[in-house]
């Protein structure tokens, strides 16, 4: 195969570069069209970035109507169609060569800016590429089964807290404080149930995974939102283990998604940090401290869309 040409560091004036993935410098991208044309690689040292010119994605009539005025030529307009297309391109790259996925909408002014970004994060990106290249991520969500949820304390509806009403008959402030305490105890009990479910899932799914990340009780309906890192060869075994776990756990509805590129396990260079990745068979005892991210700054697809 002929080598994909590396564009000059100074690319066409007024045309930003849209970045899809981070790869080894000698990697060749698949013959897939990006939003602005064919994919090519901008290289710096041992690393490369798979890019294309950042022209606006084709829009449906409804999306075009919703786009901000004057946005033409500013880049790829976020829409369900463009988000899906971005994911298809990233998956095609990761399926073809070891790569780190980059979040939707990541652009830079020119090749020089891309090369500088690669050089300044080279150690971190190389380590992640060695660790994650060729691997995939499976998403698991656990939604509470309403039938198995404990009842709310008397006088309190889920998601609602009574407050003293000055217009009604005076009520001691102690009533309000007791309701707050009951709400806190209910939330703690729910979190404890979710953590127990997480430990059980780790015992069932962990042997088929390399690492796992977890968010405990991210909202009232959701007990867990997990990401498991796998070798590609382990996908079917993981899926079988998940089906067994799904049949076993009646207290929650388990949903599986993937395989995805390993967005959740790429090191984040700045900003809020996600919870530390743990061995997949270790119990997780606390909530997430941030959103999982992709290369340098990449977001994984949410499990609802996963």
DSSP the chain: -PPPPPPPSS--TT-PEEEEEEEETT----S-EETTEE-EEEEETTEEEEEEE-PPPP--HHHHHHSPTT-TTSSPPP-HHHHHHHHHHHHHHHHHS--EE--TT-EESSHHHHHHHHHHTHHHHHHHHHHHTTEEEEEEEEEE-GGGSPPPPTT--TT------TTSS---HHHHHHHHHHHHHHHHHHHHHHHHHHHHHHHHHGGG-SEEEEEE-SSSSEEEEEEEEEEGGGHHHHHHHHHHHHHH--SEEEEEEEEE--GGGSPB-SSSPPPPPEETTSPP-S--SS--EETBTEEPPPTTT-
Whether 36 is covered by a domain: the verdict is: yes
Query: What is the rounded CA–CA span in Å between residue 229 and residue 166?
Result: 54
Q: Are 101 and 132 in contact (CB under 8 A)?
A: no
Is the domain of 112 the same as that of 142?
no
Q: Which residues of the chain have pLDDT under 70?
A: 1-14, 56-75, 147-172, 175, 179, 269-306
Is the domain of 63 the same as that of 195?
no
The per-residue pLDDT for 16 is 85
Q: Inter-axis angle of helices 111-120 and 122-132, to 10 degrees?
A: 80
The per-residue pLDDT for 185 is 77
Is the domain of 116 the same as that of 212?
no
CATH number at residue 200: 3.30.70
Q: Are 27 and 41 in contact (CB under 8 A)?
A: yes
Is the domain of 127 the same as that of 216?
no
The per-residue pLDDT for 76 is 75
Q: What angle do CA 188, 247, 195 make, to 5 degrees?
A: 20
Give the phi and the psi of residue 168 in degrees, each rounded to 5.
Answer: -100, -175
Is the domain of 103 the same as that of 146?
no
Q: Are 222 and 254 in contact (CB under 8 A)?
A: no
The per-residue pLDDT for 189 is 83
Is the domain of 81 the same as that of 116?
yes
Whether 265 is covered by a domain: the verdict is: yes
The per-residue pLDDT for 89 is 96
Q: Which domain holds residue 254?
A: 136-150+191-299
Whether 254 is covered by a domain: the verdict is: yes
Q: Quick one: how far is CA 42 from the chain centroid?
A: 25
Is the domain of 114 the same as that of 217?
no
Is the sign of the CA dihedral 54, 272, 263, 9 positive or negative? Answer: positive
The per-residue pLDDT for 302 is 33
In terms of residues, how long is the chain?
A: 306
- Distance between start and end Cα atoms, the chain: 34
Peptide bond into 212 cis (omega under 30): no
Listed in sequence order, the residues at least 6 apart from 77 whose beta carbon sits closer than 8 Å to its beta carbon are 56, 57, 59, 63, 67, 71
Is the domain of 65 the same as that of 33?
yes
Whether 89 is covered by a domain: the verdict is: yes
Give the phi and the psi of residue 97 in degrees, each rounded to 5.
Answer: -145, 155
The per-residue pLDDT for 90 is 96
Is the domain of 272 the same as that of 145?
yes
Q: How many CB atoms sit inside 10 A of residue 6's CB?
A: 13
């Amino acid at each position: 195969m002929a080598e994909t040409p590396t564009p000059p560091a100074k690319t066409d004036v007024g045309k930003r570069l849209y970045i899809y993935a981070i790869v080894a410098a000698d990697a060749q991208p698949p013959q897939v069209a990006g939003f602005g044309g064919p994919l090519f690689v901008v290289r710096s040292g041992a690393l490369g970035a798979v890019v294309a010119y950042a022209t606006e994605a084709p829009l449906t009539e409804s999306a075009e109507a919703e786009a901000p005025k004057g946005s033409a030529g500013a880049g790829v307009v976020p829409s369900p169609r463009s988000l899906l297309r971005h994911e298809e391109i990233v998956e095609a790259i990761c399926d073809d060569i070891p790569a780190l996925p980059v979040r939707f909408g990541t652009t830079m002014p020119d090749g020089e800016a891309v090369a500088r970004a690669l050089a300044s994060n080279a150690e971190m990106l190389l380590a992640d590429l060695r660790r994650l290249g060729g691997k995939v991520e499976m998403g698991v969500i656990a939604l509470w089964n309403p039938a198995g949820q404990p009842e709310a304390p008397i006088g309190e509806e889920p998601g609602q807290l009574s407050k003293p009403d000055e217009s009604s008959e005076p009520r001691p402030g102690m009533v309000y404080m007791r309701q707050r305490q009951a709400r806190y105890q209910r939330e703690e009990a729910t979190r404890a149930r979710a953590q127990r479910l997480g430990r059980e899932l780790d015992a069932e799914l962990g042997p088929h995974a390399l690492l796992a990340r977890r968010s405990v009780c991210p909202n009232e309906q959701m007990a867990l939102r997990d990401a498991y890192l796998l070798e590609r060869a382990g996908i079917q075994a993981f899926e079988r283990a998940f089906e067994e776990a799904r049949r076993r756990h009646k207290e929650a509805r388990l949903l599986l998604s993937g395989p995805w590129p390993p967005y959740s396990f790429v090191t984040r260079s700045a900003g809020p940090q996600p919870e530390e990745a743990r061995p997949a068979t270790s119990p997780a005892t606390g909530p997430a401290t941030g959103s999982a991210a992709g290369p340098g700054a990449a977001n994984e697809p949410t499990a609802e869309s996963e």
